[in-house]
Structure 1
Amino acid sequence: MNTRQIFGSLACGAVLLTGVAGCSDEPAEKPQTSSSGDSDKANGDTNAGTAPADLLKLGVEQGQAGNLDAAKTTFEKVLAAEADNKFAWFNLGFIAQSRNQPDEAVTNYDKALAADGNYKPALFNKAIALEGKAPTTSIDIYRKVVSIDNKSSTAYLRLGILLSQTGDDSKARDAFKAAIRLDKGLTSAVPAKYRPTPTPTTRSSAPAGR
């Protein structure tokens, strides 16, 4: 089983993780379930290993199977053994955010960040959760994300959107420019006024006939 198990996506590729930090730059999507993983484990096989690493894997499998209640319980067992396990806290935050519980999600992401202040997946998803409630804080977090990873195109995109809402057109334009430079597929998500003007193509004239 791969140590990085993608369960769903919340903006910067929120993932249920077993031990490897990861954060893709895919646009926001609804969480998706996966058919991978053993069904007995996904439903809470009592013979599954109880070491934190084994429990993390089990929790991911349960999440992939759509059994979020069981996954939540499993990640809580990880924390009973390792209170500062950033992956377990992140996964609990992901589950809460998937269930539209932003306050609980932020609390869990903060616990992950207490263990690792530069943990990009928790930073990114915390910023998303705070966009509506605390946009200034969200802007600061996105700036930290791109300082950690200057290739995080979706972070630049969301940063640009928030900056444009504050009226800071110059900095918003810079953020959108960075997003598009890194991923031209994000161009359609950029407000029209900030999109680069297409460069007209010139055609060479054919020689005039005599």
Structure 2
Amino acid sequence: MSMRQILGSLACGAVLLTGAAACSEKSAEKPQASKSGNSDKANGGANTGTAPADLLKLGVEQGQAGNLDAAKATFEKVLAADADNKFAWFNLGFIAQSRNQADEAISNYDKALAADASYKPALYNKAIALERTAPTTSMDIYRKVVSIDNKSSTAYLRLGLLLSQTGDAAAARDAFKAAIRLDKRLASSVPEKYRTTPSPSSSARTGR
């Protein structure tokens, strides 16, 4: 699984997270690495706090700096203090998914979802991880995502792509229509035959 598959525009679905405040539509964009200039902090220096919130912040900074091994260790420290921390489990899942470790990623997302069954970032990334091996389950998860947030444009898009593969053209068209209505930039990712809705007259002619 490539990083391109992981990244998406669903809020928080493709970023390392520090807490609930990080989860907004603007968080869909890849966050910038810390600009504090404190290299010791980015590498796990001793000047940081040890509270879960401080460790989460440190882990995110390490991940954004490309030091995924250190970030993983930091998120594991969070879980040693707070075993049900959904953000730490999500971030561990994100790291595993970025390393093509799908089973580990799904396991970590499941633990995040055990803490919060409606946690969109974990649902979304889990659905991506399951697209090839369990497409039906993946579609069910995307449906749950859009039921939680009907503005999740990329969830509609990915659902449409899976539906088109099953041959359910009508449902796929509806999903693509919703995706494009929410974000017109996604139109280029929709298969060409689904970009326009057949007119009733043309459908009638085709049915003759």
- Determine whether 1:114 maps to 2:114: yes
* Change over 3 Å in CA distance of 1:32–1:102 after alignment to 2: farther
Segments of 5+ residues of structure 1 without an aligned counterpart are: 1-8, 200-210
- Which string of whole-angstrom CA distances, capped at 9 and with x for unpartnered residues, describes residues 144-182 of structure 1? 000000001100000000000000001000000000111
Of 130-139 and 39-48, more deviation after overlay is shown by 39-48
- Provide the residue aligned with 1:131 in structure 2: 131
Matches within 5 A, 1:20-59: 20=20, 22=23, 24=25, 34=33, 36-37=35-36, 38-59=38-59
The structure carrying a bigger helix percent of its residues is 2
Gaps of 5+ in 2: 1-5, 200-208
Q: 1:173 to 1:23 in 2, by over 3 A?
A: farther
Provide runs of 4+ in structure 1 moved above 6 Å.
none
State whether residues 160 and 171 of structure 2, in contact with CA within 8 Å, keep that contact through their aligned partners in structure 1: yes
Tell me which structure has the larger Cα radius of gyration.
1
Query: In the comparison of the two structures, how many residue pairs are matched?
Result: 189
Task: Indicate the RMSD between aligned Cα atoms, in angstroms.
Answer: 2.3
| TM-score normalised by length of structure 1 | 0.84
CA distance in 2, matches of 1:23, 1:105: 22
Tell me the TM-score normalized by structure 2.
Answer: 0.84
Q: Partners of 1:146 and 1:136 in 2: how far apart? A: 16
Please, which of 7, 13, 18 is the counterpart of residue 10 of structure 1?
7
| CA displacement, residues 112-164 of structure 1 (integer Å, 9 cap, x when unaligned) | 00000000000000000000010000000000000000001100000000000
Identical aligned pairs, as a percentage?
78
Amino acid at match of 2:192: A
Q: CA deviation at 1:24?
A: 4.5
Task: Give the aligned residue type for 2:127.
Answer: A
- Asked if 1:91 is matched to 2:91, the reply is yes
2:153 corresponding residue in structure 1? 153
